[in-house]
Amino acid sequence: MDINVVVITGAGSGLGASLAKKYSDLGCHVCLLGRTKTKLVRTAETLNHRHSIYEVDISSKNDVAKVMQSIKEEDGQIDLLINNAGVGVFDLTENLDEASIHQMIDTNLKGTIFCTQEVLSDMKKRNRGYIINIVSLSGKRAKITESVYSASKFGARGFTENLALELEDSAIRVLGAYMGNMKTELWDGAYTEETYMDPNDVADIIMESIKPRKNVLVEEVVIRDNKNKY
């Protein structure tokens, strides 16, 4: 696969950390993006090849633009962007405070858009590149206590599907990944070994889904555990 520089948001834990390790093992230069440097350093300690750490709040378009420019100057052109960062506050709609609502919309939806905007121009010039949006099944199915979280994810799904349409005549590939609950910090205290998926398994499936194959194009992948329809 023609991937040298990989950018992963939310790389400090969970699926982002798993993807970072696996792409590093393939020899890629992995750029770890997140809000908390200590978490990014923890992920970096698991990597075997050259990598970079960038603290960034992806809900800020200005911050995203600065970081993406730094990556291009210091690490090279971005071949793969994985929009993985996400936050969730789970409660009945009337109980959600304003700050939580802004945080979910700003990170899960706006952050995905801002990061994507910063790589598109160069990818179009080279007519190559990959964009993976980690959306979750909450972008396809309703669930109690996830009204605003789902709204942000349904928005990310719409953005992903429209982006794929915009780029369908190019060699740039867009993948939407829709998975159920995983054993990550987002669900601390809620999961059991039997019902929540291992991020490493999910990462393997996502990576397999974007491998170039003759006459085959995977635009989305749905991943859920085999004991729970959600």
Q: What is the CATH number of the domain that holds 51?
A: 3.40.50.720
H helices of the chain, in order, are 14-25, 37-44, 61-74, 98-104, 111-126, 147-166, 199-209
Whether 20 maps to a domain, the answer reads yes
The DSSP letter of residue 138 is: G
Q: Which domain holds residue 22?
A: 5-223
Whether 27 maps to a domain, the answer reads yes
Closest CA to 90 of 48, 122, 138, 131: 138
Closest CA to 112 of 172, 40, 161, 53: 161
Task: Give the pLDDT score at 191.
Answer: 44
In this prediction, residue 225 has a pLDDT band, given cuts at 50, 70 and 90, of confident
pLDDT tens digit sequence for 99-109? 999 999 999 99
Cβ atoms within 10 Å, residue 195: 15
The answer to whether residue 2 scores a pLDDT higher than 90 is no
pLDDT tens digit sequence for 23-35? 999 999 999 999 9
Region class of 99: left (phi > 0), else alpha (psi between -120 and 50), else beta: alpha
Whether 45 maps to a domain, the answer reads yes
